[in-house]
């Protein structure tokens, strides 16, 4: 929890317009993290206009070039996206986009999976319910800001079960069998309470009663904001929708900019940010009052 004065210094601004145009206002290297979920190809055409899967890469690239320009060289770009099914087959536009982004100069550093813990049950003739989405992590450089300690998880059950039966390979550090050059020493984790997480995030969808059909849960941007930024850094969501990324950024003490092409969504995002600001102010006032009382 931060103080009212720290909060007042934070900036959260929502813009209405095409991110391609709006971003022209911003200088090179302003942002530490671009975190976003773009309009998916052809999805929700009636809500906010879909881009045809065949035209998706061509549509996305000029915008990605702007994201790259406004991102610091130590920054990260995380793209939450999932390819649709067309004619009984997964479309390949996301795979094509990854290749095209690499050609644009991005490094495809990692792919995180958001496992939707509470996806809807259903029955399809040729597949099972879709319970995950990609969070593609791109960077400008091999070395980038990454606060791994900020997202450590309790060791939990794994510690109890795995460490009870340590084998020779676990005790002596050994080179990875796949020759990656990395070794492991599981015994090192014996006395630790927290471990580094995996690249699979198990988060429930939670759209509450927000008036946006494609909002992601706040816990999704939160995790990446903690991992790739420090307090006071700048976060950008160029397809901000209901403002989830900006609310998460603000609650974590980061500055942020959100952009949406639909007026109703930029206004919704502004309202969400305003409500979150009020709630934070109230909490800060209560906490400060509590500290003053206890100092006396």
Ligand X SMILES: C[S@@+](CC[C@H](N)C(=O)[O-])C[C@H]1O[C@@H](n2cnc3c(N)ncnc32)[C@H](O)[C@@H]1O
Q: Catalog residues that contact ligand X under the rule CB under 6 A.
A: 18-19, 37-39, 48, 212, 214-216, 238-239, 241-242, 244, 259-262, 265
The DSSP letter of residue 79 is: E
CB of 111 to ligand X, least distance (A): 19
CB of 236 to ligand X, least distance (A): 11
Distance, CA of 25 to CA of 22 (rounded, Å): 6
Comparing CA positions, the residue from 98, 90, 76 lying closest to residue 132 is 90
Between the two ends of the chain, the Cα-to-Cα distance in Å is 21
CB of 214 to ligand X, least distance (A): 4
Contact in structure between 117 and 110 (CB atoms under 8 Å): no
Distance, CA of 16 to CA of 227 (rounded, Å): 28
CB of 41 to ligand X, least distance (A): 11
Distance, CA of 118 to CA of 96 (rounded, Å): 29
Q: Which residue has the tokens 């690499």?
A: 102
Considering the complex, state which of residue 215 and residue 280 has its C-beta at the smaller distance from ligand X: 215
Considering the complex, state which of residue 98 and residue 269 has its C-beta at the smaller distance from ligand X: 269
CB of 234 to ligand X, least distance (A): 18
Distance, CA of 255 to CA of 8 (rounded, Å): 11
Considering the complex, state which of residue 138 and residue 189 has its C-beta at the smaller distance from ligand X: 138
**Which residue has its beta carbon closest to ligand X?**
241
Considering the complex, state which of residue 227 and residue 248 has its C-beta at the smaller distance from ligand X: 248
Considering the complex, state which of residue 18 and residue 58 has its C-beta at the smaller distance from ligand X: 18
């Amino acid at each position: 929890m931060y103080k009212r004065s720290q909060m007042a210094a934070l900036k959260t601004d929502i813009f209405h317009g095409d991110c391609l145009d709006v971003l022209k206002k911003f200088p090179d290297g302003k942002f530490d993290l671009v975190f976003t979920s773009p309009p998916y190809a052809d999805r929700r055409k009636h809500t906010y206009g879909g881009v045809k899967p065949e035209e998706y890469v061509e549509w996305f690239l000029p915008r990605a070039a702007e994201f790259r320009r406004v991102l610091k060289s130590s920054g990260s770009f995380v793209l939450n996206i999932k390819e649709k099914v067309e004619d009984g087959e997964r479309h390949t536009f996301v795979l094509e986009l990854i290749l095209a982004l690499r050609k644009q100069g991005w490094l495809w550093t990692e792919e995180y999976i958001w496992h939707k813990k509470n996806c809807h049950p259903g029955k399809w003739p040729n597949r099972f319910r879709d319970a995950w989405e990609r969070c593609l992590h791109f960077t400008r450089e091999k070395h980038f800001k990454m606060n791994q300690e900020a997202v450590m998880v309790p060791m939990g059950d794994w510690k109890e079960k795995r460490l009870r039966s340590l084998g020779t390979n676990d005790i002596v550090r050994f080179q990875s069998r796949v020759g990656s050059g990395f070794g492991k020493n599981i015994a090192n984790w014996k006395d630790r309470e927290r471990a580094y997480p995996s690249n699979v995030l198990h988060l429930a969808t939670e759209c509450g009663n927000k008036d946006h059909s494609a909002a992601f849960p706040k816990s999704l941007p939160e995790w990446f904001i903690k991992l790739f930024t420090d307090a006071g850094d700048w976060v950008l969501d160029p397809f901000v929708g209901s403002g989830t990324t900006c609310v998460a950024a603000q609650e974590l003490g980061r500055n942020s900019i959100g952009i949406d092409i639909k007026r109703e969504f930029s206004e919704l995002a502004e309202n969400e940010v305003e409500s979150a600001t009020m709630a934070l102010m109230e909490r800060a006032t209560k906490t400060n009052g509590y500290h003053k009382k206890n100092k006396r």
